[in-house]
Amino acid sequence: MSVQERKQRERAERERLIVATARELAEEQGWDAVTTRRLAERIEYSQPVLYSHFRGKREIIGAVALQGATEMAVAVRAATAAADGPRARVYALARAYLDFAARNPAVYDALFQLDGGLAYAQEDTPEPLKDAFAALLESLGEVAGDGVDPGLFTEVFWASLHGVATLTRSGRLPPEYTEQRLELLVDRLAVV
Amino acid sequence: MSVQERKQRERAERERLIVATARELAEEQGWDAVTTRRLAERIEYSQPVLYSHFRGKREIIGAVALQGATEMAVAVRAATAAADGPRARVYALARAYLDFAARNPAVYDALFQLDGGLAYAQEDTPEPLKDAFAALLESLGEVAGDGVDPGLFTEVFWASLHGVATLTRSGRLPPEYTEQRLELLVDRLAVV
DNA sequence: CTCGATTGTCTAGCGGTGCTAGGATCGAAT
DNA sequence: ATTCGATCCTAGCACCGCTAGACAATCGAG
């Protein structure tokens, strides 16, 4: 049994290597540069090895996305935990979100822009994704306002942040006034 | 001279054909299906002909985007012109925007998701893009609220709509409650 | 009307992509 | 020591965006 266990361990280790390398490559040069050939060369295996771990490139993107979701949930919770009062928590959340998107553009793309073959907003949605949304909901639910469903409010707030994040990064919004946009968004959307 | 004029006319006509065909193909099967080979075959010319009109695929996407910007501006102005009062205009604008995005997903992608090689939010931004933003600003400027720059407000409102549009279409937001999200967005962001 | 030059278009091909079939190699169990 | 199965790689498929160079059609000058 021990031999098989060792092999399984090594296999799992290699899978982590693939995901980590894909992520590195994507952050360095963008997802377009993450080709199966380059990725295979970096992990020092041949292309077909990738396909013994993942069905294809899409699944690799999905794996990076799940990793990113977990990290984003951590970042959001850390930021909100350090803030006093509902309003301050929402500010902290918004900053943490946009900061995460700006610092990890490739991961953000994998999560919310590219097709990683993941189910969103359904029963079979992977746990990390559900949890990332839950992390948003924990602080945003406090400021949804009377008669407004906290889930719906969270969706709207999230979508707004997503719009700012993506339009800014693609150069469609000038980056100078991001802070003012954030403040306007929080001031108007959050009910004290 | 007349001969040259006829040739120029025919050339311009063929260019329109390329853009229209690219758009059709993209709406039918998505931008991934718009390959230079397929596009060339549909217009019944060889691939290199495309490159005598456009520098490459990116420029074709850009041409579709400009067309889309013009149409979106028309749609938004038509919707807001038919509404009474600032608040009603903003509702109409938001609905028209999301409706345009849903009905013309490929054009919307060309405009706000893909790289069409266009400059946004700069001096050398193409006129149709400036005008589409202006169309938003005309109605949104009315409800920016005191002390808030209308341009900044328009950017934020636009980004929020963009977030809802893209997350909904990629299946990250369930489409059922789009109307409620829209109402929440308008109610909170717009100052009576 | 002919002939060279120019313009326009096409065929063929380059280096790249995601992905896979089939053979070689290696290690474990008999 | 030998079989046998798992593991991995080489080679190749069909497709991608893009381009060089051959070819044909048209034009202007003599």
Which nucleotides of strand D lie under 7 Å from a protein CB? 7-12, 15-21, 26-28
Per residue in B158-178, pLDDT (tens digit) is: 999 999 999 999 999 999 999
Residue A103 burial class via C-beta count within 10 angstroms: exposed 0-12, middle 13-18, buried 19 and up: exposed
Give the 3-state DSSP-derived string for A135-189, with helices as H, strands as E and coil as C: HHHHHHHHHCCCCCCHHHHHHHHHHHHHHHHHHHHCCCCCHHHHHHHHHHHHHHH
- The tokens for B78 are 């038509």
The CA distance from B152 to the nearest CA of chain A, in Å, is 7
Contact assignment for B156 to A184 by CB distance below 8 Å: yes
Shortest CA distance to B45 belongs to which of B26, B17, B67?
B17
Among all protein residues, pick the one whose CA is nearest to the C1' atom of C28: A3
Window 170-189 of B: residues touching A by CB (8 A cutoff) are: 170-174, 177, 180-181, 184-185, 188-189
- Rounded to the nearest 5 degrees, what angle is found at the Cα of B71, between the Cα atoms of B68 and B74? 150
- CATH code, residues B1-53: 1.10.10
Chain A CB contacts of B173 below 8 Å: 120-121, 155, 159
Contact assignment for A181 to B166 by CB distance below 8 Å: no
Residue A134 burial class via C-beta count within 10 angstroms: exposed 0-12, middle 13-18, buried 19 and up: middle
Per residue in A89-141, pLDDT (tens digit) is: 999 999 999 999 999 999 999 999 999 999 999 999 999 999 999 999 999 99
Whole-angstrom distance, CA of residue A99 vs CA of residue A54:
30
Architecture of domain A61-189: Orthogonal Bundle (1.10)
CA distances from A71 to A13, A76, A98, A138 (A): 20, 9, 14, 16
Domain locations along chain A: 1-53, 61-189
- Rounded to the nearest 5 degrees, what angle is found at the Cα of B145, between the Cα atoms of B186 and A95? 70
Per residue in A73-91, pLDDT (tens digit) is: 999 999 999 999 999 999 9
- For chain B, residues with pLDDT lower than 70 are 1-3
Whole-angstrom distance, CA of residue A116 vs CA of residue A64:
9
